[in-house]
Amino acid sequence: MQDMNIRPQERIFRGVASSDGVVIAKAYVFAPWPGEDGFRLPERAIREDEVAGELRRLSDAIARTRQQIQQAQRDLVGKGATRQARILDVQLLTLDDQTFLNEVAAHVRAEKRNVDVVFYNVARKYVMAFSEISDDYMRERAADVRDVLRRVLHNLIGYEHPSLAELDERVVVVAHDLSPSDTAGMHREHVVGMVTETGGPTSHTSIMARALRIPSVVGVASVTEAVHDGDPLIVDGQTGVIIIHPTPERIAEYERKIEEGMKYQALLDTLRDLPAETKDGHAVRLLANIELPDEVPIALAHGAEGIGLYRTEFFFMNREGLPTEDEQFEAYAAVARQCGGKSVVIRTLDLGGDKFVSSLKIPREMNPFLGWRAIRLCLERTDIFKTQLRAILRASAEGNVRVMFPMVSTVQEVISARELIDEAMEELRAEGKAFNENIEVGAMIEIPSAALTADQIALHVDFFSIGTNDLIQYTLAVDRVNEKTAHLYDPLNLAVLRLMATVAHIAHRGDTQTDDVLLAGEPLFRLRRRTSPKRIPVAVCGEVAGNPLLAYLLVGLGIDELSTAAPAISRNKQLVRAISHEEARAIALQALQMDNSQEVRALIVRHLPRLEKVITPAAQ
């Protein structure tokens, strides 16, 4: 007879650290779908006069699925996870795939079988086709297709889908995979950690966990076979370690880590109202990236000096039609009012790429990130663009609002966009509506062509904001969500550093300077001179700005503003207040002369102040 007092042996599993933090809690093994193997549906023959009824059943199941997904989106938006809500747009598009639905209907008519079985067989074929695609990103998106098709099937057969929203105690959710609709309804106070067998840093689980600040480890092979409901677990989202049945000594060790983390956060909280100045008096503005007006109080609570990037795509997604000018004005004005006199940079529509709006009917493209998106789309759909510009201009009467154009690749795009602003101003004047006549206009530098012609673009804007996420991707020709090329996505690559340094240099030049770009000692071309000695500020609003290791280098490169997710603001403030600007400049100049990013990283680590928790394992 087994001794019930024998303690289960501690087991350690390793995966990919996808969301920082440490948690100790019981496991909840989440198995939302019937197993693929052995999954059988009752099959029956149908008569010709039953075909229409079967197809109505399918139509009803699709309508219920659409309602469920839209509710999941609302739940995500309510948590401030707007970007994660957008992921579900792919599922809504799948529900509208007429090719797929026509194939199901054709098989029902031809085979005279109940729609449940036909739908299941056609869906399996589609999922298998996606799963066999060689591109890792597309294979990861196959989870969207699998999720929505299974939901339709379960609505057809009346299967009760378990929900994480029903949990009523602190647990670590352990699953083979978690879809966006699975995680949408869960409560942060109940789901305190997540572990999956699949996924990487760009998987839905990772994105959601970071958005909700839940410790998470993904890619843990066979973990669902080793863990049972109620098993005590430690999830270390810093190192990617999962510990099942930890020993008392191990629990004590991790409890100390959790306590240290809480003390560190308390320390950061004391910096909120202190200036972000280096030891030698150089100021660096620390701003927040937001997507919703509801995020402003959180940003201000973390010490944000303003909003450096207000993404506006949310108003155009997850809805039947396009937003009106008044709807947009109210949202933009709400942010401006909450910020008082602090600046609010509103980025115009950045649709396309991986962000779609069904009502715009953006065509499918072979290379959507290189296609009809952002400023390119806006300059063709001037009706939509002009409406947004009018709303932004009206909001500028409510606070310190600035406007910024995304994905600029040529100076002509900026000129054309500014002409539309002028037209919008004329219309508002004629209507007697208030706006800031001197509203500042900026350009995002996220394409190499924009960085290399920054001197021309600077003639037409008041500020730059470097979008490092795309700048790195386009400069290095690396898909930033492809796991096979993830190691090449390197913010410390010399080409990326030189482009950022060039943009900062051009933005800070005065009228008296004339700089020749030389080739073999001979002038190749001369940087364009501005008509006034105005120095324009440069921000970085990509994820790089939230990494203390890289933020140090950005300050040395001459970046004036760091715009990040709200939680990173206090860490950056601690960093800025601990460093010397002159030393950071000297380190940055050395970095620009080095041969590889490994040397650059080692250089920064040697000189970055050894502050408690400033350099996290993820940063190193």
Containing H/E element for 402? strand 401-405
Question: 383 CB contacts (<8 Å, ≥6 apart)?
Answer: none
Where on the phi/psi map is residue 222: left (φ > 0), alpha (ψ -120 to 50), or beta? left
Beta pairing partners, 22: 236
CA-to-CA dists, residue 34 to 37, 128, 179, 204, 252, angstroms: 9, 17, 15, 21, 38
**Contacts of 153 by beta carbon, 8 Å cutoff, 6+ apart:** 61, 116, 119, 120, 123, 159
Helix (H, G, I), strand (E, B) or coil at 131: helix
For residue 555, which phi and psi values (nearest 5 degrees)? Answer: -60, -40
What sign does the dihedral 564-565-570-571 (CA atoms) show? negative
To the query of whether residue 204 is one of the catalytic residues in this protein, the response is: yes
Stated as kind and residue range, the H or E segment containing 540 is strand 538-540
Compute the C-alpha angle 8/9/10, nearest 5°: 120
Q: In what order do the strands lie in the sheet with 232-236?
A: 11-14, 241-244, 232-236, 22-29, 171-175, 191-196, 216-218, 16-19
Q: Confirm whether 541 is a catalytic residue.
A: yes
User: For residues 572 and 607, what is the distance between their CA atoms, to the nearest angstrom?
Assistant: 16
Residue 376 C-alpha from the chain's centroid: 21
Q: How far is CA 129 from CA 140, 142, 494, in A?
A: 13, 9, 39
What's the burial of 258, exposed, middle or buried (CB within 10 Å: 0-12/13-18/19+)?
Answer: middle
Chain mean position to CA 445: 18
Other Cβ atoms within 10 Å of 448 Cβ, number? 16
Maximum pairwise Cα distance, the chain: 90
- Cα dihedral across residues 382, 357, 103, 105: positive or negative: negative
Q: Where are the alpha helices (DSSP H) in 270-370?
A: 296-301, 325-339
> Are 351 and 373 contacting, i.e. CB atoms less than 8 angstroms apart?
yes
CB 293, CB 312: distance < 8 Å: no
Q: Which of 204, 302, 339, 581 is catalytic?
A: 204
| Tokens coding 586 | 């000297």
Single-letter amino acid, residue 208: M
Catalytic option among 302, 339, 541, 581: 541
Distance CA 24, CA 245 (A): 11
Please check whether residue 30 is in contact with residue 227, taking contact to mean a CB–CB distance below 8 angstroms: no
Q: List active site positions.
A: 204, 541
